[in-house]
Homo-oligomer: A and B are copies of this chain.
Amino acid sequence: MAKRPTIRDVAEAAGVSKSLAAMVFSSEAGVSADRRDKVLAAAKKLGYTPNQWARSLRSGSGSFVGILLNDLHNPLLTEIADLTRNALLEKGQQSFVSAVVISEKNGKRFVEPSSIHSLLDLKPKGLVVVGGLPDLKPFKTLPEDVPVIIATAPAAGLPNATVVRSDDDKGLWLLVDHLVDLGHKRIAYVGPDDSPNSIARMSGYKKAMLDRGLEKYIVTQVAERNEAGGYAAAKLLLQDKNAPTAIIGFNDNIAFGVQGAVSEHAKAGMTPVAVAGYDNTYVADLARVSLTSIEQEKEAIAMKVSELITNPRVAAEYRGREITLLPRLVVRNSTLKPS
């Protein structure tokens, strides 16, 4: 198959020098109109598009923004990555999404450093990290003027990064508040406690309960971050004599598992238990699921991120700081009707 044309092929076809042809694609001015047209025509005919990686290599920095996606399975993260990419596209900013490799070595999951280096070696002009990475050290090799924005996760040890995330304390306060208003007192929380993110939410739950004078009803149950984890944890909670009347899950996935356990509980003739999740995944909105959840305002996050990455002034202003957005409660059947 035909080899990809290079700028030399274009120059030759247009009858000009390589550098002249290069100028047509790099800087706007500096080339006479007729020659520029010739080059453009030749490029179009050959189907030439610049190799942006060679460009990165030479210039020290590319013209694209790198988006590092933490987990392909998490709909919240893929959604935010996609929204960010679209927001950047609207500003005319190219981006490149790549997914981190997570491998497992003797039972422990960790991020392959090479999958981070791969993106950094492409020399992005800015970097967006979507989701919490356990180790952000590799990013320290980035040049000073490359902004790093971390979406929906704390900046574990990266002093110059900007964090854009929604306020977990507020989110859990909204959930607890909503449930208390419905008459619940025994409100339990189910979720992991192995990451900054999960710890923040659990702590938000406790603060909210305290705030409502319900400290003696605080019950937390550790769970793995998937449906099965939520199911198992809820089963444990529900067999207690002082079983909760409402359960909040760390995220929607866990809450789905809780819903499963709660359904079985209700079928056994027990009083129905309210369930709420977090992240407002599209699944939560399905008619059959109808799970009350917290919307992290993904669009707002994406907009903020794209603004930070494209506007150097704003980027400089927020370097090393955290931008906190207000989450929003989305009430659905799981906390209203009996399930």
Contact = CB atoms under 8 A, between A and B. Distances in A.
A263 B288 contact: yes
Contact of A1 (B144, B287, B289): B144
Contacts of A288: 256, 259-260, 263, 288-289
A227 B54 CA distance: 43
A141 B4 contact: yes
Interface in A219-269: 227, 231, 256, 259-260, 263-264
How large, as a class, is the contact surface on chain A?
Answer: 35 or more
Interface of A: 1-4, 47, 49, 51-54, 56-57, 64, 69, 72-73, 75, 78-79, 81-82, 85-86, 89, 94-99, 101, 103, 113-115, 117-118, 120-122, 140-144, 227, 231, 256, 259-260, 263-264, 282-283, 285-289
Contact of A286 (B57, B85, B94, B289): B289
Given A82-B72, A256-B288, A288-B289, A122 B53 contact: yes
A58 to B, nearest CB: 10
B141 A2 contact: yes
8 A-B pairs with least C-beta separation = A260-B287, A97-B99, A72-B78, A4-B141, A51-B121, A72-B82, A1-B140, A288-B289
A260 B286 CA distance: 8
28 contacts: A1-B144, A47-B141, A49-B114, A52-B121, A53-B53, A53-B56, A53-B121, A64-B118, A72-B78, A72-B81, A72-B97, A73-B75, A73-B78, A75-B75, A78-B78, A81-B99, A82-B99, A85-B99, A85-B101, A86-B103, A89-B101, A256-B287, A259-B287, A260-B286, A260-B287, A260-B288, A283-B286, A288-B288
